[in-house]
Each structure stands twice: as C-alpha cells, then as structure tokens.
Chain A
Amino acid sequence: MQSLFNWPQSPGEVEPGALVEVLGVPGDAGNSASSGSRYGPDAIRRASGNVARPLLSGFDHGDIAEVCGFDWMDVLNRTCKSVEAIARKGSTSILLGGDHSISWAGVKGVECLGPVTLIWIDAHTDFCAWQETEWHNHKQVLRRIAALDHVQEILHIGHRGVTYADESAYTEKMRLFSPHDIQKSGAKPVLEAINHDSAIYISLDIDGVDPRWAPGTGHPVPGGLQPDGLAEVLRALGNTQRVAALDVMEVNPMLDPENRTSDVAASLIADFLHGVAEA
C-alpha cells in the first residue's frame, strides 16, 4: 500500500516526534446515494505521490481493518477509538474516507481534548432528521455531531445550491459561510469566528469544492469553493496550531476518470500541513 506522502508505515520507521498520523477508512456503507468512496483512501494516497511532501514528520497507519462486510457502526466505533488514541498522544489525525458518515467517529474521537470548534466544509448541511438511533448516514451526520456536548460551534463552509428549505438556522451552534463569502474575503471571516479556547476539527467533504475541479464525488453541487481559496483557509487553520484532526471524505474514484478529485484532495491536505509547518 502506498502511504500518504510516502510517509513511513512501520512502527520502527516512525521518526521521533511525528506530528501527524494517517488512518484510512475504506467504506461507504453510510452513503445512500452512491458507492465508490471506499476507494478514496487509496486514490488520495496515490495522488499524494505527485505533491511536494510537507515538512512535517508523519506516519501512515494504513486502513482500519475489517470494514466491508462488517456492521457500519462497529467500524465507526473502532475508528473513533483509533482517533482517540492519536489525540491522546498529542498528534494530529488525518482521516481518509470513505463516506462522510465516518466524520462522526473522528469528532467523537477527539472528545478527550475538551471543547472543539468544528470546521465543516461541504456543499450540504448533512442535517437531515435523525431519530437518535444508534446509527446514522451521510445525510444525518452533522445533526448527530451537533448533539455531542464537546462540539461548541460549527463553522460550515460551502453550503449552496437548490435545497429543500432554508438550512441556515438548523442549530444555534452553526454558522454558514458560502463559497462567495470565501471568494470575497478569504480565510478572515472564518478565523475571526473561531472560539479561541477550543481545539479545532476540520472535516472536508470534497463536494465542498466546485465540481469543475472535483467532479469525482457522489453528490456534486454547482457553484462551489475554488481550490486555491479553500487552500488559503486550510493553510490559515493549520497556522493556528490548534487542529486536532483533519478528515477528507467522499472522494469517489469511480466517478473521477482523470483523477482530478483525488489530486485536489491530496493538494488540499498538503496545503493544510504546510500551514502547520509554517507556524
């Protein structure tokens, strides 16, 4: 298996003080619309070979074991434990998906760090009704996450398009930033909105990026974020040195014949890590 940015994969190869630990979750059981994002972790790793390696030491754990054929919530619970273990060491997690329902596991996993500001980059609010069942899908995931006590605020970047209703006020915790807001003002409004006492979790659903650059995803929406504008936001967030985890979800290589989407995903991860390294 090729690792992200060709980082070490064996425990013996880990450089002292590795700051970043990578984990793949190759599953898409939580996506009701399409399957294929299970191949996302591999595709992003392959694409990262074409990107300048960030000046940070990192370690790639590979993929969570026993995914396809296993209960989805069992997979998510194991992912949560793995992210928690990384967080307790003081490292930053990079979680590669897989469908966006996986992000619940990542956010839950950093609960041990205390209050969290969630940066949710997505074309959709993922706030469909959830009846407090033990499981959720990709359309309900943010509603379930918003119910977690340690999630103090949600800064949603990229919501747009034709929807069922005005989704701007689904929860008091959430504030929306449109692609136009980012194009006009860059990272500034997002940074100003962050509670300065909290850790940060960034969740990137690749459909937040405009389909002209990231067509390979299950539910694209026109009018999205441009990669360079989003890169600026990610770099600035990396600069804060407070990001506990970054997940990148919904890259679907089956819908991405020219690998444009996985290339963009790998580049955005690199931009974030450059921001961490620069600080």
Chain B
Amino acid sequence: MQTAETDRSLVISPFLETEQVDNQAATIYLRSSGSRIRIPKALYDVLRRFSSSRTLPDALGTTSPPASLLAALEKLQGKGFLIFEDELESVMLDRLVTAPPIPIFDAPMQKPDDPPSDVVIIGFPYDHGCFHAAGARAGTLALREASLHLLYRVSSETGRPLGWYDADRREPMLKGTSIADCGDLVVDHGESRSQMNRRFDRLLGKVIHENTLPVLIGGDATGSYSLIRHIQKTRHVAVVRIGGPAGDGGAPGNDAVSAESLGGSLLQLEATEGFWSIAASSVCAKGPGRTHSRFHTIPPADANPGLLANIRSRVPEGTGIYLGIDIGVLDRGLTNDASRDCEALRFEELKALIVALGENFQIHGLDLVGMNPSRPYWSVMSVYALHILVTAIGAAKDSAGSQG
C-alpha cells in the first residue's frame, strides 16, 4: 500500500461475508465474485477494524506498521475484500446480477462477459415504478420456476438448440436459436433510481451484442426505458406496448420514468419513431389538443390489422419495433374481475397480434412485464406468460419480419 494512500479511508467490501472463524484462521468470501480465501485470525481481526471507514494509521494505531502487515492488507485490497471508501459506489455497481436458482427454461446462464447468444433474458425484479404492480418484483423468479414446463434442449448430434413446436399453428419455433439467461439485475431496494439505472446500463452494455435479441422480464415496465435507449444507440424504433398503463407525459432521462410516463419519456428521444399503446389498463393523456402527435392509442378491437397499418403509415420504411407486453392484459379474462377497469385481449388475440407484428416488422427488443405470483390464478397466468414469451421470441427470430 502506497504511503500516499494512508490518508485515504479504507472500508471492508459490502460484499464480504465470513464463512467460518476459529482461533487459528478465518474463511471469508466475496458475494460479488465468489472469491474465497482463508486468512490468519490475527489478520482477520485487523480487517474487522475497517468495518467502518478508517485510515490505516487510525485503524492500526501507528503510522509505521510492519511491512508484512501492510503487504497482507494490500493483498486483501487487491482481491477486493478491502476497498477505498471513495470507490465504494463504483464497487456497488460491480455486482450486476444475481444468478437465479433456476435459469429460464433451464437454459444456460450467460455471465456479462461470456460469448453472446441469439437471445438473452434479463430479469428486472422491480415493482416500485407502478402503483398497481406490488408483488411483481417476484415475477422474474416465479416465471423461471414455471418455465420448467418448457425446457430448453440442445440436439445431441449437432449441439444446436432444438427449439419448440407450436401445436396451434403447426410450426416449429426457434430451432437453432440459442437462448441464455443472464439473471436478475441486482436491485437494492431503497437505493437511488440513478444508481439502479447506472447498474442496468452497465449490464446491458455487457450482455447485448450486435445480433442479440434482448428480452426483459419484470417486474414492472421501469426497465424498458433503459433497454429501449440502449437499442436506440444503433437504430430508430417504433415502440409498441400491449397492456399496462400508458401516458404521453414524461420527463427526459430515465431516473424518473414510471410505467405511466414511459411513453412520454420515450417520445422525447429522437430515435423513437412513435409510441403505440394497445389495450392500456389506463391512459394518462395530457388532454385534448395537447396529446403528443406521436402517441397513439389503439383499442383492442382494431389491434389486428389496424395497428400494423397505423405504424406503417407513420414510420419510415424498414423501421423496426420494440415490443412491450404487460401480461395483465389477459388478467380480466382469467379472473372474470369486472371491477378491473381495463380493456382486455383474449389469449388468442394477443398471440395473433404478436405473430402479425413479427411477420411485418423486425422486432429489436422485447419485454414481458407484470408477472405477479401474488395475484390470483398465478398458476394459470404463468403458463399464459410462458406461451406469450416463447411466441414473442419466435416472432422476433423466426418470422418474415426478422429477415428484414
């Protein structure tokens, strides 16, 4: 440790955990990287002095500690167990994801720097962006557990993914398309939105490559803004949202984006060719005469083929779309809850609309949000969600629009 650094405060990493301690030694590990070491008890006792941030002289009680102790502390710092206090925020962003107990479809996990797959599933377990979404933060893990009904399998001969089969349309789906799960974004509930968004932006930069289809599962639609902005680094998109709340008011920047303000916030970006909302659960338009000119609401009855014609007439040819789906759009049909003041689509209508979108436009990104295991009939809704997810990924990767 450089002498000049003795004025900087050090603190033990927030990811440090103690596995075992005895009179001789202690085993410690970092949750962020999995690094695990065994150190002498005496060194462990010194390390614990940095539970709160302190300078070296303050913690060690001397400005001339033994060289061996300094070397040992430097080693711990090199491995990330001990960090400078002013680097704490950066370290907090180092841990990007949590690995789920079960990857979706039991597909491979993709670590941030792994080779890309054709489709990457990214969990966004956050539900504080929409008042009505309480419980949806558990949706990412619950959907993965339900997905064991549809396992991802690879041919033992070719090593290529086998895909699935749509018994309704009598067509194979996603044959040869690799899918990976990169886990759930780390969300420290209570942290600032800006910190969470910075972490998410960093994760997107690591897992999305040129031809990767990113698929966000939620939670609520909060993460969609960051994902769409990431996609818009290389292309313009028309944004289509099926279900969920919609509104055309919003502030620029993603730190204040909610599910309701998503449309308005996106429309402030030059690369958003328009925002189409179908079967919204509620619409917060600025009002007659003030509604944004590129914000369009489509009633469910006109969705197919009206939506397609509407988009084609308003965006430059060759523009692709970003498709967001709030699974709650199917909720009313399942729960027969007449008190829910929302337009709804039936499963068959939603599936047909997704397929039609895929056939007519290239889909550059997807989200499926609103999965909420605490709502009634989650055992049914989870299956609906899985079928819609696979259909949407198939629409993006298999359909005529994907060749464009």
Contacts and interface: CB of A to CB of B under 8 A. Distances in A.
Given A215-B380, A223-B347, A223-B348, A165 B387 contact: no
Given A162-B150, A162-B390, A212-B333, A222 B383 contact: yes
Contacts of B167: 159-163, 166-168, 178
A47 to B, nearest CB: 17
Nearest to B148: A33
Contacts of A113: none
Contacts of A159: 167
Contacts, number: 76
Given A211-B334, A219-B149, A166 B170 contact: yes
B173 interface: yes
B145 to A, nearest CB: 11
Contacts of A164: 150-151, 153, 162, 164-165
Given A162-B165, A212-B334, A33 B347 contact: no
A278 to B, nearest CB: 31
A222 B333 CA distance: 11
B141 to A, nearest CB: 18
A178 B166 CA distance: 12
Nearest to A165: B165
Contacts of A255: 377, 379-380
Nearest to B378: A255
A221 interface: yes
A162 B379 contact: no
B27 to A, nearest CB: 39
Contacts of A218: 379
A162 B162 contact: no
B40 interface: no
Contacts of B334: 211-212, 215
A220 interface: yes
Chain B interface bracket (under 10, 10 to 19, 20 to 34, 35 or more): 20 to 34
Contact of A163 (B153, B164, B383): B164
A257 interface: yes
Contacts of A178: 167-168
A223 B168 contact: yes
Given A215-B377, A219-B149, A220-B380, A162 B333 contact: no
A167 B168 CA distance: 12
Interface in A193-225: 211-212, 215, 218-223
Interface string A227-266: 0000000000000000000000000000101000000000
Nearest to B162: A164
Contacts of B380: 211, 215, 220, 255
A170 to B, nearest CB: 12
A205 B150 CA distance: 20
Nearest to A260: B336
A39 to B, nearest CB: 15
B379 A222 contact: no
Given A219-B149, A222-B383, A257-B376, A162 B166 contact: yes
Q: Kindly name the residue among B170, B172, B383 whose own CB sees the greatest number of chain A CB atoms within 10 A.
A: B383
Contacts of B351: 222-223
A110 to B, nearest CB: 29
Nearest to B385: A222
A163 B165 contact: yes
A257 B168 CA distance: 29
A220 B383 contact: yes
Contacts of B238: none
B117 interface: no
Contacts of B149: 33, 219
B391 interface: yes
Contacts of B102: none
B240 interface: no
Interface string B25-66: 000000000000000000000000000000000000000000
Interface string A11-31: 000000000000000000000
Nearest to B168: A160
B121 interface: no
Given A219-B149, A223-B168, A223-B348, A161 B387 contact: yes
Given A33-B149, A212-B334, A222-B347, A166 B379 contact: no
Contacts of B384: 211, 222
A27 B127 CA distance: 39
Given A178-B168, A212-B333, A215-B334, A162 B376 contact: no
26 contacts: A159-B167, A160-B167, A161-B387, A162-B164, A162-B167, A163-B164, A163-B167, A165-B162, A167-B165, A168-B167, A178-B167, A178-B168, A211-B383, A211-B384, A212-B333, A212-B336, A215-B380, A219-B383, A220-B380, A221-B387, A222-B383, A223-B347, A255-B377, A255-B379, A255-B380, A257-B376
Given A162-B173, A162-B391, A166-B170, 8 more contacts: A160-B167, A162-B390, A163-B165, A166-B172, A178-B167, A211-B383, A215-B377, A220-B379
- 7 smallest CB-CB distances across A and B, nearest first, come from A222-B347, A215-B380, A211-B380, A220-B380, A255-B379, A163-B165, A215-B377
